[in-house]
Amino acid sequence: EMPLLEQCYNLLDFEGVAKRVMKKTAWGYYSSAADDEITLRENQTAFQRIWFRPKILVDVSKVDFSTTMLGTKVDIPFYVTATALGKLGHVEGEVVLTRASARHNVIQMIPTLASCSFDEIMDAADADQVQWLQLYVNKDRAITKKIVEHAEKRGCKGLFITVDAPQLGRREKDMRLKFVDEGSNVQKGSGEKTDNSQGAARAISSFIDPGLCWDDIPWFKSITKMPIVLKGVQRVEDVLRAVEVGCAGVVLSNHGGRQLDFARSGIEVLAETMPVLKKMGLEKKIEVYIDGGVRRATDIIKALCLGAKGVGIGRPFLYAMSAYGQEGVERAMQLLKDEMEMNMRLIGARTIEELNEGMVDARGLFQH
């Protein structure tokens, strides 16, 4: 009764299958979001307020949508974003995503709260495969320093500091389904007891420092040569500040709707941000990424038209992994590549450089 992998025709199909076959607790953790999940839904609906203005009669016999992200050449402008607790969905955990990413020349962001150890995930990668580290900053900076230095030594090519989670959001679906510890390998504060009554997320996050602030950024720059990217920026003012303190990038993100409910979508914040950066001549100074609700290549194209360097994708790969393992994740990535090729042609763009804001009508984006 489980559909064949070939019967998944797009990324949303994997969600339907995952919901049916996953353990309730795992489904609860992956699919849940904060409070009334308004932001979770908005992440997808925001893309539906953008329409295309395709160019006609462009010779699109050849299209090439390869690009670079933080200096790394990639086949297609998306990366696998960091999502905690991979073993809830698949016995092997995050290494499944690592192997699928290798096949498609896609970058994987490794979560601090991975089920597999950091070294297991690095070891599962091909020699030339690029990975980034997502960092939750520990109250004990000595621990954080060790993690960062180790990641750099092992060859990580980017440090993504999560800045939208001084406290983990309240995900009620997850709480109701009562998390059972699945033997995860996450860094708990030493000797601290985990309290599972608040769901999976809260149980593992007590070490995160709510005191993290702008003054800490120079310290990060002093301990690593990896480019520093702030993940979870939600307003143009903070993008400008990130440029000022010398960040290599920002991810406009609301953590997949899992933190502050009524946070705006990344795509809307992008449309607020890029005109300001351009006006100030700063658009080459920082790479701007978005994540949240990206499910179709048309979503990727919309983001790139509006000035994003790339997009992160979270849940769809978790669902593909949980339902079908590595093959599922590979198919999800292939589907995106197929959609990308077709839609680049249909919009009249041969390369990523040819995508621009004139190819979208985003007037409705700010109308809620």
Closer Cβ to ligand FNR, 148 or 349, answer by number = 148
Binding site for ligand FNR (CB under 6 A): 29-30, 43, 81-84, 111, 113, 134, 162, 231, 253, 255-256, 258, 291-294, 312-315
Q: How far is the CB of 58 from ligand FNR (least distance, A)?
A: 30
The structure tokens listed for 106 are: 């896609």
Q: Which whole-number Å values give the CA distances from 166 to 95, 162, 203, 299, in the listed order? A: 28, 9, 15, 29
Pairing type for strands 51-52 and 360-361 reads antiparallel
The DSSP string of 10-21 is: SHHHHHHHHHHH
The residues facing 135 across adjacent strands are 161
Pairing type for strands 67-69 and 72-74 reads antiparallel
Q: Which whole-number Å values give the CA distances from 194 to 93, 169, 181, 188, 356, in the listed order? A: 21, 17, 9, 8, 48
Closest CA to 269 of 165, 362, 344: 362
Active site residues: 136, 164, 255
Query: 121 with 95: CB under 8 angstroms?
Result: yes
d(CA 139, CA 129): 31
Query: 79 with 148: CB under 8 angstroms?
Result: no
Closer Cβ to ligand FNR, 312 or 325, answer by number = 312
Using CB atoms, what's the residue nearest to ligand FNR? 314
Angle CA(148)–CA(152)–CA(157) in degrees, nearest 5?
110
Closer Cβ to ligand FNR, 37 or 75, answer by number = 37
Query: 224 with 152: CB under 8 angstroms?
Result: yes
Closer Cβ to ligand FNR, 32 or 129, answer by number = 32
The structure tokens listed for 270 are: 């992008």
Closest CA to 313 of 360, 251, 234: 251
The residues near 146 (Cβ < 8 Å, ≥ 6 apart) are none
